[in-house]
Amino acid sequence: MQPTDRRAVFKPKILESLRNYSGAAFQADIGAGITVGIVALPLCLALGIASGVRPVQGIYTAIIAGVIVGLLGGSRVQVAGPTAAFVPIVYGIVAAHGVANLYLCTMMAGVLLVIMGISKMGSLIKFIPYPVTSGFTTGIAVMIIFGQVEDAFGLTTTGDRPAHFVPKLRYLAEFIGTTNPWALGIALACMATIWFWPRLGLRRIPGSIVAVVVAAVATKVFDLPVATIATRFAEGVPQGLPAFAIPTITWDAVSAMMIPATAIAMLAAIESLLSAVVADGLTGDRHRSNTELIAQGAANIVSPLFMGIPVTGAIARTASNIDSGARSPVSSIVHAVTLALVLVVLAPYAGSIPMAAMAAVLIMVARRMGEWHELVHVSRLPRSDALVLLATFALTIVFDLTVAVLIGMLLAGFLFTKRLSETTEISAVTPRDELENMEQLVHGKEIPEGAVVFRIFGPFFFGAAEKMEDALEGAGKLPRVLILRMNLVPAMDATALNALENVLERLVAAGGTLVLSGAHRQPLAMMMKAGFIERLGRANIRANFDEALVRAREILGVSQTR
C-alpha cells in the first residue's frame, strides 16, 4: 500500500492526458492557449503594476507559472499565474521589505506549498469555512478597487502610497481635488467596454484587450495628457525574456518573511484548489489536490529566479481556457509561449497603455471576484456565519489577510464548537424512557433505588463538558450509583474526559460509584490511554444498559430482576 500512496501524492495530469493524445486535441489546445494568453496579457501587466513591481514582472510570472504548472499540475486544464487576490499582500511586502525580500518570501511560500502537498494536506484546505473564504475574497476585492482609485482618477499625488486601508482613504481624500478628467474618462470608457463587450456576443476577443488597445491608440494619436506605462516606468515594458538571478538569502530576512510567506502559501493553496474544483465542475474531470499543491509550490520557487511574483491558480483564466476548448495541460504551456512571443515582438508598443486603462481592468476583475451577494444578503445567513463573514471581511480591509484568516478561523472554530455543544444533551433517564421491546413497553426497565441514570446524546466535547456539572447539580444529592449512558456519544475530547474524572472523584469521595454504559471505540481508547478505566474499575464499564443495571444492583446489594 505504501508505494501506491506515495505515487498518488505526485502524479501530474499531463502524463494521463498525453496517453491517447490526438492531433485534434493538440489543435484545440493551441487555440485555447493562444486565447488565454491574449486574455492574460493586459491582466498580467495590471497585476504587476498594482503589486508595486514593474508591469513586465506580471508577464514573467505568467510565463513561468504556465509552463511549470502545465507540466507538473494536478488539474487537466488549470492555468496559473499572478492573480488579483495577491495584490494587497504583495504590495504590502514590497512597501515594507522591498522587492528582493518579496522574491525570498515567494520562494519560501513555494517550499511550504511543496511540503503541504507531500504531507497530503490538499484535502484539508476544503475544511476552511465558506464564510472565511467569502469574507477575505470580498475584502481583497475592496482593497484592489481602492488601490486603483489613484490611477483611475489620474490623481497627482506626493509622498509614498500607504499600504493599509484607513491611511489610504485619507491619502486619496487629500488628493481627490487633483483628478484628471481625461484619465477618469479613459477608466470609465474601458470599464464600460469590458462590461458590454461580451453582451454583444463578441467573446473570441477579450473585452479587456479591446479596451486597452483602443485606450493606448487614442492616447498616442491624440497625445492625451495622462500617465502611461512609459511615463510611470522609465523602461516601459522591456523587450525579451528575463535573466536568471538567485535572490540574496539571509537568516534575518528568512525570519522576517516567515509570516508573509505562510500567508502567501495559504492563499495560493486555497485559490489554486478552488480554481481546480471549479474546473472539475466545468469539465467533469477530477483534479489531484496534492499534486496541484506541489506544482504550485515548484512554480513559486522558480518564479522569483526570473523576477516573477507569487503564483496561484487563476479561476478566470482557467474558465476561459475551458471555454476555449482546452483538452490538456498543453494549453497552459501554449498560453505561456504566447505571452513570451508577445513580450518579444510587441513589448515596445505597451508603453503607450494609459495607467487608467490598467486600473480599469483590475477594478473589473475585483468586481467579478468579490462575493458581493453574500454581503447584500448577509442577514439571511445563520448569525454565527454572518459574524464570521463580516469579521473576516473587515479584518482583511483594515489589517491584512493573515490576521483576517487567523481570526476568522478561530472565530469560526469557536462558534462551531458552541453550536456543537448546543446539540449535545445530558439528561436524566426514567424507567419509562427505555422502551426497547414489548415487555419493556409494559413493565419498563427497573432502575434500583439509590441509582441515577444520565444519558449523553451527541459529541462530548469541551463545549458540552460543563453540562455534566449542571446535570449533577440539578440531580441534588449525589447518588450511590451513577450510570452514564454513552451509546449515543460518537466521540469525546480531553476536556470531557476531565469532566468525567471530576465526577468520579466527587462520587468516590461521597462513597458512590460511576458506571459507564455502551461507550464507543474512540471514547474508550481515550479513557484507556489516560488511565481513567483503571481508576474507574473495569467492572464498571458495561457494554449495554441492561448490563449496567445488573452492575448497579450488585453494588447496591439488591436482588436481580428479570
The grid coordinates of residue 36 equal: 488565454
- 5 vs 508: which has the higher pLDDT: 508
CA atoms of 387 and 132, how far apart (whole Å): 10
Domains and CATH numbers, the chain: 2-17+25-412 (no CATH), 425-556 (3.30.750.24)
What pTM value is reported for the model?
Answer: 0.72
Averaged pLDDT, 151-161: 87
Poorest-pLDDT segment among 80-89, 109-118, 211-220, 391-400:
391-400
* Residue 42 · residue 339 · CB < 8 Å: no
For the segment 457-486, what is each residue's pLDDT rounded down to a tens digit? Answer: 888 876 666 777 777 776 667 889 999 999
For the segment 289-306, what is each residue's pLDDT rounded down to a tens digit? Answer: 999 999 999 999 999 999
For 276-297, the DSSP string reads HHHHHHHHS----HHHHHHHHH
H-helix or E-strand spanning residue 176: none
CA atoms of 59 and 61, how far apart (whole Å): 5
Closest CA to 136 of 316, 271, 312: 271
CA atoms of 555 and 447, how far apart (whole Å): 13
pLDDT of residue 441 exceeding 60 = no
CA dihedral 36, 37, 40, 42 (to 10 degrees): -130
Residue 212, number of CB atoms within 10 A of its CB: 26
CA atoms of 73 and 289, how far apart (whole Å): 9
For the segment 533-555, what is each residue's pLDDT rounded down to a tens digit? Answer: 999 999 999 999 889 989 999 99
pLDDT of residue 432 exceeding 80 = no
pLDDT band at 189 (very low <50, low <70, confident <90, very high): very high
Averaged pLDDT, 404-415: 77
